[in-house]
Copies of this chain bind each other. A is one copy, B any other.
Amino acid sequence: MGNNRQIRLAARPVGEIKPEDWSHVSVDVPRAGDGQFVGRTQLVSLDPAMRGWLDDRPSYLPPVGIDEVMRAGTLVEVVESRHPDYAVGDHVVGTFGVQEYAVSDGKGALKVDKPAATYLGALGMPGMTAYFGLLEVGALKEGETVVVSGAAGAVGSVVGQIAKVKGCRVIGIAGGPEKTALLTEELGFDVGIDYRADGPDGVRKAIRTAAPDGVDVYFDNVGGTILDAALANLAMHGRVVICGAISQYNADQPTPGPSNYLSLLVRRGRMEGFIVFDYAKRYPEAAAELAGWISEGRIVLKEHVVPGSIDDFPATLGMLFRGENVGKLVLDVR
């Protein structure tokens, strides 16, 4: 077997991630011990949460250590196995890291039927995040009005489509005319708002026009001024689901909080954060329901697959934070 190429964290980024924050190294390909298998990476998932994993502060997962292989969800093909449940040729999804070969004891791993990006997207962490965030944390009810930001992204595009399945009015916020058109023309959203064209004040007004009776559920992927615009339009007993804040992840100083948070008082609203891992026991239930909607054509998958090698990981991650992807961003290293 050849070398195992890895992307490791070389330095903690301050603000935007720079090329020097990564090291590209080659090590020996691992061998499977008793009860282990070795997988060759095929697809690497790129997720907004990755930025948070690089900061040395208390969070829901320990930060990636300096000189450690970068954490990532990947889809691998088993190339060697001494584990009874995994055979050579199997496809497995897990948090195997940004490297060409990974060794695993199968903990937290999931066998899938084919090497499809869907297993990292609508049926992976983004799909689970959309499902539990909208239905459990947001407590969505039929006929309500939903606004989602980052609407053309991996999580947002599924949030909006689940809301449509549930008979809701859905307004998506995205950056640029192409993404905004995608929302209404391909994904079935009722309204698409382009935050780049409209600016913060324009977004507030556009939400008011699209949701004159207020927003029942706002699913926030971005934070910043868009969160404020949504708070200003909250309906009575509205819920704000805090899923992420990609607009703030690369900031190198504390960013201002939502100054309209007092809408929560006037509108008797709720703002709640969650971490999808807390729902891990219920993933199969969500995956079954999502798979059904996908096969019925009620949820369309948007995947943005970039072909390349493991060494292209840093550049591909940059696309995510510049908003250059449409749908779930995946690096295909086959």
Chain A, 251-280, CB within 8 A of any chain B CB: 254-275, 278
A244 (CB) vs chain B CBs: closest residue: B265
A154 within 8 A of B: no
Asked if residues B265 and A254 are in contact (CB atoms below 8 Å), the reply is no
A42 to chain B, nearest CB (A): 31
Asked if residues A275 and B265 are in contact (CB atoms below 8 Å), the reply is yes
B contact residues around A228 at 8 Å (CB):
257
Chain A, 201-249, CB within 8 A of any chain B CB: 223, 228, 242-245, 248
A58 within 8 A of B: yes
Q: Within the assembled complex, what's the spacing in Å between the Cα atoms of A261 and B258?
A: 8
Q: Within the assembled complex, what's the spacing in Å between the Cα atoms of A271 and B267?
A: 13
Q: Within the assembled complex, what's the spacing in Å between the Cα atoms of A214 and B276?
A: 22
Q: Within the assembled complex, what's the spacing in Å between the Cα atoms of A267 and B59?
A: 8
Q: Within the assembled complex, what's the spacing in Å between the Cα atoms of A248 and B268?
A: 18
Asked if residues A269 and B273 are in contact (CB atoms below 8 Å), the reply is yes
Chain A, 265-308, CB within 8 A of any chain B CB: 265-275, 278
B contact residues around A248 at 8 Å (CB):
262
Asked if residues B259 and A264 are in contact (CB atoms below 8 Å), the reply is no
Q: Within the assembled complex, what's the spacing in Å between the Cα atoms of A272 and B273?
A: 12
B contact residues around A272 at 8 Å (CB):
264, 268-271
A215 to chain B, nearest CB (A): 15
Contact residue among B244, B264, B268 (Cβ-Cβ distance under 8 Å from A278): B268
If A270-B271, A271-B270, A272-B271 touch, whether A255 touches B259 (CB-CB below 8 Å) is yes
Asked if residues A271 and B266 are in contact (CB atoms below 8 Å), the reply is no
Q: Within the assembled complex, what's the spacing in Å between the Cα atoms of A265 and B49?
A: 12
Q: Within the assembled complex, what's the spacing in Å between the Cα atoms of A278 and B267?
A: 11
Asked if residues B245 and A262 are in contact (CB atoms below 8 Å), the reply is yes
Q: Within the assembled complex, what's the spacing in Å between the Cα atoms of A271 and B227?
A: 14
Q: Within the assembled complex, what's the spacing in Å between the Cα atoms of A256 and B266?
A: 18
Q: Within the assembled complex, what's the spacing in Å between the Cα atoms of A239 and B173?
A: 28
A238 to chain B, nearest CB (A): 10
Besides A59-B266, A257-B261, 12 more A-B contacts (Cβ < 8 Å) are: A256-B256, A256-B259, A257-B258, A257-B260, A258-B258, A258-B261, A264-B271, A265-B273, A265-B275, A270-B272, A270-B273, A271-B272
- Interface residues of chain A, those whose CB is within 8 Å of chain B, are 58-60, 223, 228, 242-245, 248, 254-275, 278
27 A-B pairs within 8 Å (CB atoms) are namely A59-B266, A60-B266, A242-B262, A242-B264, A242-B265, A243-B265, A245-B265, A255-B259, A256-B256, A256-B257, A257-B258, A257-B259, A257-B261, A258-B261, A261-B261, A264-B272, A265-B274, A266-B273, A268-B272, A268-B273, A268-B274, A268-B278, A269-B273, A270-B271, A270-B273, A271-B271, A271-B272
